[in-house]
Amino acid sequence: MIRVVATTPFDGQKPGTSGLRKKVSVFQQPHYVENFVQSIFDSLEGFEGETLVIGGDGRFYNREAIQIVVRMAAAAGFGRVMVGQGGILSTPAASCVIRKHEAFGGIILSASHNPGGEHGDFGIKYNVGNGGPAPEHVTDAIFERSKAIREYRIFDAPDVDLDTLGITRVGDMVVDIVDPVEDYAELMGTLFDFDAIRDLFASGFAMRFDAMSAVTGPYATAILEETLGAEAGTVVHGVPLPDFGGHHPDPNLVHAKSLYDLLMSDHAPDLGAASDGDGDRNMIIGRGRFVTPSDSLAIIAANAHLTPGYKAGIAGIARSMPTSGSADRVAEKLGVTCYETPTGWKFFGNLLDAGLATVCGEESFGTGSNHVREKDGLWAVLMWLNILAIRRQGVDEIVGEHWAAYGRNYYTRHDYEEVDSAAADGLMAELRNRLDTLPGTVIQGLTVERADDFAYHDPVDGSVTTRQGVRVFFTDQSRIVYRLSGTGTAGATLRVYIERFEPDPARHDLETQSALADLISVARVLPDIEGRIGRKEPSVIT
């Protein structure tokens, strides 16, 4: 019943920041999915008879790929697979299920916040037994195997019914179709004061949650509306669609502009929130106040003790290097360490497992904690609801009080998407060549204090990760960071992060792009962005 199929390697099956991501048409090539999945299994040891969790965000080709993974898991010798009903399982929920059921690992079929549909993107990511993304030594092994693969093994069996809860079998392997929401919702109920949040909604508090026709819809509907009593219709675009309704499922000020416009209008509810394609990102907006992800992380860390799951306080904070330093001052006041890591949630795993950090965040709209080993969009929304329920203040008031206590980090990210890869690589190479000569340089009135190429020394396992982004620090407590993103599927994405600390409360209500206008100009001139990649303006500003 196990068929051995001869194959040849495909170029470029190297997992990026969050797995392997390509266009759907690439994954639809004969043997392409099978080669990569076999490369995953060939890189693992000790899974005979163990449990594998499988699910995805419902995007185009999700169901077909799940059928392949199930049959290959049976051929590989797994004893059980747990599959989200309908092929649905958000990334944080997959981590939750892996951890609760002590699974060996999981395969998540998603390209996260990237567009879906027949001509969109697809992705496959392997998560290890702690529920988090595979560390680099595992993804490196998978890539090396993908370059040498000559055959894969797959069980000959009919397709599994993904829509009916219960147990079936493929050969000797148990296939358990599970409710994708149940375990996750149960976990949220242990972390947050659901009674207080129910009282908040009962008081007339109103919110709008935009699931962006992606995976978080069923979770938000079940928890916010059915459990917590939010008004019916609070969740919009709540049905996951293969093409995300033709929208780009990335919760930022560009792709969730309609939500932003509503919260800035005279008809704004008290809270607006959104999540992305696979449910691991979040955007928080109060009436008249957008909360940057960096500020959201800092405010969550400062107020986490108000919730049942974190009432004893937090052990530490972890943030990605490009994320603003606002969380650092919270950590200092709390007397805990703030760890600065490379971009990629996998770098938080060791810190969480070792108990060194409790709350983690990235500027790319990702926030989470030690409850799972992924960032978690709905968790962040529930955390804000719990804080609002206890403090009984509006979002704008909470943000203003936080800035008054800690100072404000004006912060923006400018993305140059789908640029020529060689040109982007050349820009970064030239920046690295100038690191020694930049200190002391005056650029449009700003003096460079120091510059480096960020490297991370993991305090748990001692591993070193280098070349994670060029940082340029100025004497006025501002900085610019340049790095190439690993989450796109076409060309290269140059991300430029621009930040300035402002301690004066009288200057805390400036418009962000205006407050950073001089730095923005320097950020473009310093590496000659227009000359090197041919772009006068960024594709996206957040």
Q: Which two tokens stand for residue 240?
A: 């996951």
DSSP assignment of 302-368: HHGGGSGGGTT--SEEEEETTS-THHHHHHHHHT-EEEEE-SSGGGGHHHHHTTS-SEEEETTTEEE
The count of residues in the chain is 542
Half-sphere exposure of 104 (CA within 13 A, CB side): 17
Element (H, E) at 412: strand 408-419
Using DSSP bridges, classify how beta strands 464-465 and 456-457 pair: parallel, antiparallel or unpaired. Answer: antiparallel
* H helical segments located in 54-153: 62-76, 91-100, 136-146
Q: Which two tokens stand for residue 156?
A: 């000959």
Q: Which of 18, 43, 112, 213 is catalytic?
A: 112
Q: Distance between CA 217 and CA 412 in Å, rounded?
A: 28
Q: Distance between CA 83 and CA 101 in Å, rounded?
A: 13
Q: Distance between CA 204 and CA 147 in Å, rounded?
A: 58
Query: What is the phi/psi pair of residue 108, to 5°?
Result: -110, 125
User: Under DSSP, is residue 378 helix (H, G, I), strand (E, B) or coil?
Assistant: helix
Q: Distance between CA 281 and CA 251 in Å, rounded?
A: 7
Using DSSP bridges, classify how beta strands 80-88 and 121-127 pair: parallel, antiparallel or unpaired. Answer: unpaired
Q: Distance between CA 198 and CA 300 in Å, rounded?
A: 20
Cα 301 off chain centre by: 18
265 in catalytic set: no
Residue with tokens 């077909």: 64
CA neighbor of 375 nearest in space, from 43, 95, 89, 147 = 95
Beta partners for residue 469, in sequence order: none
Residue with tokens 């419902």: 58
What residues act catalytically? 112
